[in-house]
Amino acid sequence: MTPSQDQSGRWQGKRAFVVSRKDKESETVTSFILAPEDGLPLAAFKPGQFLSFKLDIPGHDKPVPRSYTISSSPASALLSDGAHYRLSIKREPAPKDKPDLPPGLSSNFFHDHVAVGSCVQVGAPAGDFFLDDTEDGPVVLLSGGVGLTPLISMLDHLVDQGSSRPTWFIHGVQNGAEHAFGAHVRELAQVHDHITTHVVYTEPGPGDSKGRDYDATGFISIPMLESLSVGTDADFYLCGPPPFMKALFNALLDWGVDEARIHYEFFGPATVLKDGPKEQPKAAVAALAAAAGVTVTFKRSNISVPWDPAHETILDLAEANGISPAFSCRAGVCHTCIVDLLEGEIEYVVDDAYQPEEVGKVLICSSAPKTSVVIDV
């Protein structure tokens, strides 16, 4: 065992993994198969969970944190002869309306510089978005774009389990160039009567064929679900870009689906959350707070430190002081990092953060202190 690893294969902090294979899944999505460098057992995970990374990217003085879902099913990942995790990463280009901006940092680093034999530092599987496999009713897996990765893991898990739950895998994506795992899902639906798949392209490409590559043009909608005989009593799992999630979540509620049956995860929409002028207020808040002698107290960790304007957020400060709070998107979207603010005032430095409605709660990935603060971390 590595010093930080327990009998179940779980580990604390980061563990070295080596890329043992790269598989192209579409023009924009590539899978990376990661095997533990120490050759010891892998931690079990639930279908839908993700791994966190701290990437050493040349030209960046701090490791770049990102999360990627395990796109394989637990059974296929934990094979005794060659245990591995599979990630499937979409290369993020610059936004269409801002082509001069740099393309996605981590995803392009993975595609261009992480090769077979490369080593990456990986945090143990985490996340609350996973398939509840104790249920036995119908299940609807709804994805947009690369948001299909957790749902592929869930679909494969249902198949591995020999489940006969009526299952729909409904996927919306731009076109065939972006469409990953199409053949795999179609094959599963052909072999298993209880699995239905429906693929919707927003802009089919010249080589895309209706009936072979996709089933409809446009967006996923409630009439479409009705035409596929999906009922409101199913469990719905959603993952995709924010407009997709927002539209479907509200449409499902309006249709009469019980909110408790709708499970979802955002993939940290950095394109939405990032814009040029945002660095300005961050720097201003940080500098003001530092000038005022502000301290941040992490109560449960029993650590109190002066606010340091070199850090952008309270989460950054916590990590710099050896504390590892839970996080996922680091963009104010997923609410994984939400904690109690016990004393003091903070300010959101990520303008588009989805601020919690509950009084006394704060997203530490997106905020900096305005006054000295005590937080429940």
Ligand X SMILES: Cc1cc2nc3c(=O)[nH]c(=O)nc-3n(C[C@H](O)[C@H](O)[C@H](O)COP(=O)(O)OP(=O)(O)OC[C@H]3O[C@@H](n4cnc5c(N)ncnc54)[C@H](O)[C@@H]3O)c2cc1C
Residue 195 touches ligand FES, criterion: CB under 6 A: no
Stretch of 48-56, 108-116, 289-297, 332-340 contacting ligand FES, by CB under 6 A = 332-340
Opening angle at CA 133, ends 41 and 245, nearest 5:
100
- What mask, x for binding ligand X by CB under 6 A, covers residues 53 to 82? -------------xxxx-------------
Please identify which residue in 74, 127, 145, 332 interacts with ligand FES, judged by CB under 6 A: 332
SS (H, E, C) the chain: CCCCECCCCCECCEEEEEEEEEEECCCCEEEEEEEECCCCCCCCCCCCCEEEEEECCCCCCCCEEEEEEECCCHHHHCCCCCCCEEEEEECCCCCCCCCCCCCCHHHHHHHHHCCCCCEEEEECCECCCCCCCCCCCCEEEEEEHHHHHHHHHHHHHHHHCCCCCCEEEEEEECCCCCCCCHHHHHHHHHHCCCEEEEEEECCCCCCCCECCCECEECCCCHHHHHHCCCCCCCEEEEECCHHHHHHHHHHHHHHCCCHHHEEEECCCCHHHHCCHHHHHHHHHHHHHHHHCCCEEEECCCCEEEECCCCCCCHHHHHHHCCCCCCCCCCCCCCCCCEEEEEECCEEECCCCCCCCCCCCEEECCCEEECCCEEECC
Residue 333 touches ligand FES, criterion: CB under 6 A: yes
Please identify which residue in 330, 341, 346, 362 interacts with ligand FES, judged by CB under 6 A: 330
- Check if the beta carbon of residue 312 is closer than 8 Å to that of residue 286: yes
Q: Report, in Å, the least distance between residue 334 CB and ligand X.
A: 6
- The Cα 310–Cα 53 span in angstroms is 21
Please identify which residue in 182, 268, 332, 369 interacts with ligand X, judged by CB under 6 A: 268
Which amino acid, one-letter code, is at 331?
Answer: A
And the tokens for 233? 């009593």
Pick between residue 46 and residue 307 the one whose CB is nearest to ligand X.
Answer: 46
Please identify which residue in 5, 72, 106, 366 interacts with ligand X, judged by CB under 6 A: 106
Q: Report, in Å, the least distance between residue 340 CB and ligand FES.
A: 14
Residue 375 touches ligand FES, criterion: CB under 6 A: no
Residue 276 touches ligand X, criterion: CB under 6 A: yes
Pick between residue 90 and residue 311 the one whose CB is nearest to ligand X.
Answer: 90
Q: Which does 337 bind (CB under 5 to 8 A by kind): ligand X, ligand FES, none?
A: ligand FES
Residue 54 touches ligand FES, criterion: CB under 6 A: no
Q: Which does 211 bind (CB under 5 to 8 A by kind): ligand X, ligand FES, none?
A: none
Q: Report, in Å, the least distance between residue 325 CB and ligand FES.
A: 9
Q: Which does 332 bind (CB under 5 to 8 A by kind): ligand X, ligand FES, none?
A: ligand FES
Which residues, including other chains, have CB under 8 Å from residue 364's CB and lie 6 or more apart? Answer: 313, 314, 315, 318, 325, 327, 337, 339, 375, 377
- What mask, x for binding ligand X by CB under 6 A, covers residues 144 to 183? --x--x----------------------------------
31, 62, 77, 328 from 125: Cα distances, Å: 17, 22, 12, 11
Q: Report, in Å, the least distance between residue 93 CB and ligand X.
A: 6
Residue 336 touches ligand FES, criterion: CB under 6 A: yes
Q: Which does 58 bind (CB under 5 to 8 A by kind): ligand FES, ligand X, none?
A: none
C-beta nearest to ligand X: residue? 104
- Residue 26: which of 222, 212, 177 has the closest Cα? 177
Please identify which residue in 74, 104, 123, 332 interacts with ligand X, judged by CB under 6 A: 104
Q: Which does 365 bind (CB under 5 to 8 A by kind): ligand FES, ligand X, none?
A: ligand FES
Report the site for ligand X in 309-348 (rule: CB under 6 A). 328-329, 334
Stretch of 26-34, 41-49, 226-234, 321-329 contacting ligand FES, by CB under 6 A = 321-329
Residues that bind ligand FES (CB under 6 A): 327-330, 332-337, 363, 365
Binding stretches for ligand X (CB under 6 A): 50, 66-69, 88-90, 92, 94-95, 101-108, 127, 146, 149, 265, 267-268, 270-271, 274-276, 328-329, 334
